[in-house]
Chains A and B, each alone.
Chain A
């Protein structure tokens, strides 16, 4: 573990609801090294986004609360920090790009003004300098004619362009870690590829680490070095990307990989795409045992009695399964 940037240990983020305590994130461990791209995958509602928001402490409390664990940022625990100290970490150290580029920009300001605001908040710059830097950032994310477009309003940009603006916004203070929370989900496929490419390019340029949250396995295969698979608030498998796709150990991971459409096979064999049966279980008072047991075709009594521990099965390859 050379040069760990972020080290999440046994993080528990729970939400108090009328139905009981929702254990959205229930004791996950995750670490990200400098300049590394880590994918976090899992289906909707498995706690990916809550994990991301927990890191920046963007969880509304109440109803949310941190039930335990640590989020070590370069060795310093973020959980006890106050609002003012968190504001200094946000954008300057850790930045986030959200899923929804259409609504993540303030409609009443020009994009230049919004980037400039962040710059001026974190660095001592004059208005002119900040606007110039904003234009620089826009051209960096390949927005054509950036000098003129800094003065445009968000509604004058298309979805893909807005996501580029969001990336420019997130990168404006050169963070060490960029959290991308399903950055391409709301975009169409060709734009998705461009945005991923852009993030790769930015990563090489600034040497930052990326935590890529997605449910698209294809995206993960293409961009990440290491992958963490989450299921129902738990990490079920963690592996280098080649090991994960070459030798998936957890039945859930296997299911995810099998559910990717294959261009080379679908044309010849008219076979149905395999889906994982069932849905994510309720996270209110989950039963003991493996949370995937109910949907797992290999499940036995052992699985239902106690949560299996995370065990090492290869170099950097961990799996939470008895098999």
Chain B
């Protein structure tokens, strides 16, 4: 519960904060370089005198949006692959699960770096510089996280498809697609929702990692990871800079993880059925 409140507060702050805290994110003020927290700058300023609160509020939108979108990509691909594998069984199932194992065994970070080097320019041309990076980061993070969801969904389908009510639905003339969409998947969603929430947290961290390595969004867009990356050089003289950006990531991820745990307990099939 507490984590839900924290997360809600963060999301609201990120959504509404820039409307209330009207300090521009890129107003350079060399008079206030690396200043600690004060009334004018509650979270202090960075090496260019930019207001960290404003930057974190703005960057949070991107970080959380990336997290949610990447999770959606992972969940949609995962459910699709898992459902096809679980329902078809036989050779299709085997091939799809090999594919999932293959993706699972890939070292993710080097692969991410490679993909970004290869496709950054092409996507930037299509979607514009911000949009292109956003699409790429979401696709890359989501595209490397569907396997767990797929295996989860497949396992659920394999057990649920043998339940009596599925046979009853079949006996009452439900086609195969209808059985899956209307009867099996709704019963399989509990674990998927849990995995999904935890994926949001993972995706936020992955985005932060990319930005921290200087590979995600361009420097003028202050995502949380980017802010943390910029802060690392002045850790000794301006620890507040890294602390606050790190805390934003930490609190969001932690609260999402707790929510995921809570959902797992609440949706535990042994307690529902």
Binding site for B on A (CB under 8 A): 56, 58, 83-84, 86-92, 95-96, 98, 100, 103-109, 117-118, 121-122, 166, 169-170
Contact = CB atoms under 8 A, between A and B. Distances in A.
B87 to A, nearest CB: 13
18 contacts: A56-B171, A58-B170, A83-B175, A84-B175, A90-B171, A95-B172, A98-B167, A98-B168, A98-B171, A103-B163, A104-B164, A104-B165, A104-B167, A106-B169, A106-B183, A107-B165, A169-B172, A170-B172
A92 B187 contact: no
B164 A122 contact: no
B273 A107 contact: yes
Interface in B232-273: 272-273
Nearest to B173: A90
A121 B164 contact: no
A121 B174 contact: yes
Contacts of A86: 173
Interface residues of B, number: 20
Given A107-B187, A107-B273, A108-B187, A122 B165 contact: no
A253 B273 CA distance: 41
B228 to A, nearest CB: 42
A170 B171 CA distance: 9
Contacts of A105: 165, 168
Interface string B162-205: 01110111111111101000110011000000000000000000
Interface of B: 163-165, 167-176, 178, 182-183, 186-187, 272-273
Nearest to A103: B164
B32 to A, nearest CB: 57
B164 A117 contact: no
A174 B64 CA distance: 53
B247 to A, nearest CB: 39
Q: Which 6 A-B pairs have the closest CB atoms?
A: A90-B173, A103-B164, A91-B172, A91-B173, A87-B173, A104-B168
A120 to B, nearest CB: 11
B89 to A, nearest CB: 10
Given A104-B164, A117-B182, 20 more contacts: A58-B167, A87-B173, A90-B173, A91-B171, A91-B172, A98-B167, A98-B171, A103-B163, A104-B165, A104-B167, A104-B168, A105-B165, A105-B168, A106-B165, A107-B272, A121-B172, A121-B174, A121-B178, A122-B173, A169-B172
A321 to B, nearest CB: 35
Contacts of B172: 90-91, 95, 118, 121, 169-170
A121 B173 CA distance: 8
Given A106-B183, A106-B187, A108-B186, A166 B168 contact: yes
Contacts of A84: 175
Nearest to B163: A103
Given A103-B163, A166-B168, A87 B175 contact: yes
A96 B164 contact: no
Contacts of A108: 186-187
B171 A95 contact: yes
A98 B168 CA distance: 8
A99 B172 CA distance: 15
Contacts of A106: 165, 169, 183, 186-187
A108 B272 CA distance: 10
A90 B273 CA distance: 28
A96 B171 contact: yes
Contacts of A107: 165, 187, 272-273
Contacts of A109: 186
Give the interface centre of B165, B170, B178 by most chain A CB atoms within 10 Å: B165
Contacts of B176: 83
A58 B166 CA distance: 11
A88 B168 contact: no
A105 B183 CA distance: 10
Contact of B164 (A91, A100, A170): A100
A55 B172 CA distance: 13
